[in-house]
């Protein structure tokens, strides 16, 4: 703690500067936006006779006695206030100096929670202030800040004095916007929150509904919108290849597809087709629940590139998925006379090299692959469209790496696909730098999946039912437990499960798939399962995303309690892809933790990915929910997407207005909140 005298902003490299940096406070401006966690009311004294056990209060009283009790070392202090009521204060850990301070006859103010103790009301470890009779009370609520060890509240408050003196609190927000939402000015809001005037409504401050809070939350949302909007505009300023729909190849695919596109697929395709025809890069997120038919949308987009003589690449997170995409696309595209290739780490070197050559020469226009697309020295000289399937499984860097595969200077159009739908509030905030297309309709004829929860004690019964169903010609996945700590252990469990099931089901053919198999082995197993040659497929989470075997209609997930919500929904989405009634059994190991029970309940009650995503967001909060994407994103500190959702739309409108009419004001707001800390995503 610094001594008395004029406080000043800690110098670079000092201990205090390092402590502040831990709170992400680097400049006085940052401290101004470091707002109280809560407030304590030291403006009033409560007579001891009227304190309510279970609440916090401030009392003023005189010490009657102060003893150091044995055998348990405790400082036990008896006090009496001016109305003659008595109270006990207790310290369990204390410095000897405390006992000296609390000599009989001393007058003190104690602030803390009051409890009903054995000997009457008492306070344990109250905050203590020695006072003289008649000493005035503070007139304002006392703010309590989030802090870190070694940086006390008094220090923070003193530094705030410095910051409030040093930083001009001008208000770049146009008064029209302020008036519409009845927001106070910036300076007024900041003063209210750091130094609440005596008449401030303490309840509204505590619940963060006070207009001063509203102003800050709005400004935070506005800055987020500004920053995302600016990134969006910057990307649009780049040039991309115009890929107008020529309908030579896409029409041919339309005619050959064994099904009719849903109207949602058609609408989304129109949105994408229009983007591809524009001279600046598309940045679109295609979200659609598991099974909504995103792959065929990708195929049409790729063909639109090909019919213009340009290349398109589709990247998927697993080998199984990449190969499946390849096979599906090849059956659709080969008859059109258009070549497609696939790349994965598992392919033989010689094969890979000839494929690479075909891509490099531009002879082959379409590529599907895993990370191998960005890792190996792949050259896609005419890359004009990059599609990322299951985009949440990739990091920002990987997405950028795929984008950079094209010729320097030409930015490919980007389409990100995701089966983890983003709740509307998140789409409007954290994903506002993307255009979003939504498949809100499943192909016709899908029967909802019947989900059941069963304790692992009923395993034998479940196996018997599985057997009966498979003997009737159904196919099943048996998903092995996720063991996050150890891949080796996970593999061992999978092998054991496979052995057990083979033994229990001698009449059935049981296959096994896991991440450690060689690529050809995986291919062979998936092909056998897809062809109906295997009844049961024992699988690790390698099948979590994308795998599409419409005939499989049963799934058992072991240790379902270990999986996250999105993961369970994805896994379950491997069934229910055909017209047969599908079911999914979630086996859990009792006893269940509260969190696990909540997750399983959500999966049990909901089939709709949007509803599940909303629950997931509610349970985990946006930071966790967004996961890999968060790197470089300013997360919200004050605005709460659920409670303050009504501010998002106005913030969005205000952002558009400011960027158009008053870019200088927008710049000031961005500098105040972000100070150049805008992340990778902006690239
Ligand atoms: P996802 O959106 O989960 O990636 P897929 O693209 O794997 O879904 O599609 C799921 C299944 O539905 C596939 O077998 C696909 O061929 C099929 N499908 C896609 N669109 C339609 C449609 N309009 N009508 C019928 N089946 C469709
Ligand atoms: Mg898919």
Which ligand does the CA of 300 lie closest to? 1
Q: 305 with 276: CB under 8 angstroms?
A: yes
Please give the number of the atom of ligand 1 that sits closest to the Cα of 550: 14
Q: 114 with 54: CB under 8 angstroms?
A: yes
Q: Do 586 and 547 share a structural domain?
A: yes
Q: Would residue 237 count as lying in a domain?
A: no
Q: Do 54 and 35 share a structural domain?
A: no
Q: Report how far ligand 2's centroid is from the alpha carbon of 312 (Å).
A: 17
Q: 255 with 303: CB under 8 angstroms?
A: no
Boundaries of domain holding 155: 1-43+139-200
Protein residue with least CA distance to atom 5, ligand 1:
293
What's the confidence (pLDDT) of residue 474?
A: 92
What's the confidence (pLDDT) of residue 633?
A: 54
Give the chain's domain count: 4
Token pair, residue 536, equals 């049961």
CA 232 to mean position of chain CA atoms: 20
Protein residue with least CA distance to atom 10, ligand 1:
291
Last residue of a domain, one of 106, 137, 168: 137
Alpha carbon distance 461, 480 (integer Å): 18
**Most informative mutation of 269, 295, 331, 580 for ligand 1 (most atoms within 8 A of CB):** 295
Last residue of a domain, one of 575, 606, 637: 606
Ranges of the chain whose pLDDT falls below 50: 1-5, 628-632, 679-683
Ligand 1 site, CB within 6 A: 259, 261-262, 265, 288, 290-296, 419, 443, 548, 550, 577
Q: Which of 535, 584, 583 is closest to 560 using CA atoms?
A: 584
Q: Do 497 and 393 share a structural domain?
A: no
Q: Do 499 and 568 share a structural domain?
A: yes
Q: Report how far ligand 2's centroid is from the alpha carbon of 293 (Å).
A: 7
Q: Report how far ligand 2's centroid is from the alpha carbon of 545 (Å).
A: 7
Sheet of strand 311-315: strand arrangement: 340-343, 366-369, 311-315, 383-388, 413-418, 283-288, 435-439
Instruction: For the beta carbon of residue 221, count every other beta carbon within 10 angstroms.
Output: 26
Q: Do 387 and 330 share a structural domain?
A: yes
Q: Do 461 and 569 share a structural domain?
A: yes
**Most informative mutation of 437, 443, 449, 551 for ligand 1 (most atoms within 8 A of CB):** 443
Q: Report how far ligand 1's centroid is from the alpha carbon of 259 (Å).
A: 9
What's the confidence (pLDDT) of residue 683?
A: 44
Alpha carbon distance 569, 315 (integer Å): 22
Alpha carbon distance 231, 213 (integer Å): 27
* DSSP secondary structure of 612-627: HHHHHHHHHHHHHHHG
Q: Would residue 620 count as lying in a domain?
A: no
CA 510 to mean position of chain CA atoms: 37
Q: Would residue 37 count as lying in a domain?
A: yes
What's the confidence (pLDDT) of residue 529?
A: 95
DSSP, res 114: E
Alpha carbon distance 268, 245 (integer Å): 14
Q: Do 369 and 262 share a structural domain?
A: yes
Token pair, residue 102, equals 């609390």
Q: Do 24 and 14 share a structural domain?
A: yes
pTM score: 0.78
What's the confidence (pLDDT) of residue 433?
A: 84
Give the Å distances, CA to CA, from 4 to 8, 158, 205, 577, 605. 11, 10, 31, 72, 61
Token pair, residue 547, equals 């795998």
**Most informative mutation of 264, 290, 293, 578 for ligand 1 (most atoms within 8 A of CB):** 293
Q: Do 435 and 466 share a structural domain?
A: no
Q: Would residue 318 count as lying in a domain?
A: yes
Q: Do 519 and 376 share a structural domain?
A: no
What's the confidence (pLDDT) of residue 548?
A: 85
Q: Do 101 and 20 share a structural domain?
A: no
Protein residue with least CA distance to atom 26, ligand 1:
443
Q: What is the pLDDT of residues 196-249, one digit of tens each?
A: 988 889 899 999 999 999 999 999 999 999 988 888 888 888 999 999 999 999
Q: Report how far ligand 2's centroid is from the alpha carbon of 316 (Å).
A: 9
Q: Would residue 324 count as lying in a domain?
A: yes
Please give the number of the atom of ligand 1 that sits closest to the Cα of 328: 16
What's the confidence (pLDDT) of residue 4?
A: 44
What's the confidence (pLDDT) of residue 614?
A: 87
Q: Report how far ligand 2's centroid is from the alpha carbon of 294 (Å).
A: 6
**Most informative mutation of 258, 291, 320 for ligand 1 (most atoms within 8 A of CB):** 291
Q: Do 348 and 277 share a structural domain?
A: yes
What's the confidence (pLDDT) of residue 599?
A: 92
Please give the number of the atom of ligand 1 that sits closest to the Cα of 297: 6
What's the confidence (pLDDT) of residue 634?
A: 55
Place of tokens 């401006």: 29
Q: Would residue 374 count as lying in a domain?
A: yes
Q: Would residue 472 count as lying in a domain?
A: yes
CATH code, 467: 3.40.50.300
CATH code, 92: 2.40.50.140
Q: Would residue 329 count as lying in a domain?
A: yes
What's the confidence (pLDDT) of residue 491?
A: 84
């Amino acid at each position: 703690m610094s001594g008395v005298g004029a406080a000043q902003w800690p110098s670079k490299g000092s201990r205090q500067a390092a402590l502040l940096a831990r709170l992400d406070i680097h400049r006085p401006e940052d401290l101004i936006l470091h707002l109280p966690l809560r407030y304590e009311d030291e403006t009033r004294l409560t007579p001891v006779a009227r304190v309510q056990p279970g609440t916090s209060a401030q009392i003023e009283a005189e010490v009657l006695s102060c003893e150091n009790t044995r055998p348990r070392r405790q400082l036990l202090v008896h006090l009496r206030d001016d109305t003659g009521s008595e109270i006990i204060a207790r310290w369990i850990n204390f410095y000897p100096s405390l006992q000296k301070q609390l000599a009989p006859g001393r007058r003190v103010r104690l602030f803390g929670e009051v409890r009903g103790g054995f000997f009457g009301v008492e306070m344990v470890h109250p905050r203590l202030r020695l006072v003289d009779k008649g000493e005035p009370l503070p007139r304002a609520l006392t703010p309590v800040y989030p802090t870190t060890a070694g940086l006390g509240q008094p220090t923070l408050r003193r530094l705030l004095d410095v910051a409030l003196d040093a930083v001009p609190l001008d208000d770049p927000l146009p008064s029209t916007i302020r008036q519409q939402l009845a927001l106070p000015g910036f300076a007024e809001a900041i003063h209210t929150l750091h130094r609440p005037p005596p008449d401030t409504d303490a309840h509204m401050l505590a619940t963060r509904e006070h207009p001063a809070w509203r102003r800050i939350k709005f400004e935070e949302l506005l800055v987020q919108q500004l920053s995302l909007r600016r990134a969006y505009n910057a990307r649009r300023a780049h040039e991309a290849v115009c890929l107008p729909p020529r309908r030579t190849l896409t029409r041919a695919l339309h005619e050959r597809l064994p099904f009719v596109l849903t109207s949602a697929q058609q609408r989304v395709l129109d949105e994408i087709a229009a983007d591809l025809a524009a001279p600046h890069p598309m940045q679109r997120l295609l979200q659609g629940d598991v099974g909504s038919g995103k792959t065929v949308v990708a195929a049409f987009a790729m063909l639109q590139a090909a019919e213009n003589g340009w290349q398109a690449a589709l990247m998927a997170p697993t080998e199984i998925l990449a190969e499946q995409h390849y096979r599906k696309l090849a059956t659709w595209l080969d008859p059109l006379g258009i070549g497609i290739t696939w790349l994965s780490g598992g392919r033989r070197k010689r094969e890979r090299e000839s494929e690479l050559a075909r891509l490099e020469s531009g002879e082959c226009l379409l590529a599907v692959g895993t990370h191998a697309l960005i890792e190996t020295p792949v050259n896609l000289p005419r890359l004009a469209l990059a599609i990322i399937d299951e985009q949440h499984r990739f990091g920002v860097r990987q997405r950028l790496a795929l984008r950079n595969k094209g010729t320097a200077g030409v930015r490919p159009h980007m389409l990100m696909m995701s089966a983890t739908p983003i709740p509307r509030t998140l789409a409007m905030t954290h994903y506002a730098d993307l255009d979003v297309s939504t498949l809100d309709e499943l192909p016709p004829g899908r029967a909802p999946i019947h989900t059941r929860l069963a304790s692992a004690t009923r395993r034998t019964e479940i196996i018997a039912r599985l057997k009966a169903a498979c003997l009737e010609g159904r196919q099943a996945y048996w998903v092995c437990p996720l063991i996050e700590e150890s891949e080796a252990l996970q593999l061992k469990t999978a092998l054991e499960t496979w052995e057990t099931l083979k033994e229990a089901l001698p009449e059935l053919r049981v296959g096994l798939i896991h991440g450690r198999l060689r690529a050809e082995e995986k291919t062979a197993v998936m092909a056998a399962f897809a062809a109906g040659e295997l009844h049961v497929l024992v699988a690790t989470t390698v099948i979590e995303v994308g795998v599409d075997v419409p005939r499989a209609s049963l799934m058992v997930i072991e240790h379902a309690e270990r999986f996250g919500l999105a993961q369970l929904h994805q896994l379950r989405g491997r069934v229910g892809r055909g017209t047969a009634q599908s079911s999914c059994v979630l086996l859990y190991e009792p006893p269940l933790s509260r969190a696990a029970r909540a997750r399983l309940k959500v999966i049990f009650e909901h089939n709709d990915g949007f509803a599940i995503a909303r629950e997931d967001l509610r349970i985990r909060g946006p930071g966790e929910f967004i996961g890999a994407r968060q790197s470089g994103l300013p997360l919200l500190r004050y605005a709460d997407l659920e409670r303050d959702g009504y501010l998002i739309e106005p913030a969005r409108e205000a952002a558009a207005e400011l960027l158009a009419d008053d870019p200088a004001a927008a710049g000031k707001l961005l500098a105040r909140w972000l100070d150049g800390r805008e992340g990778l995503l902006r690239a």
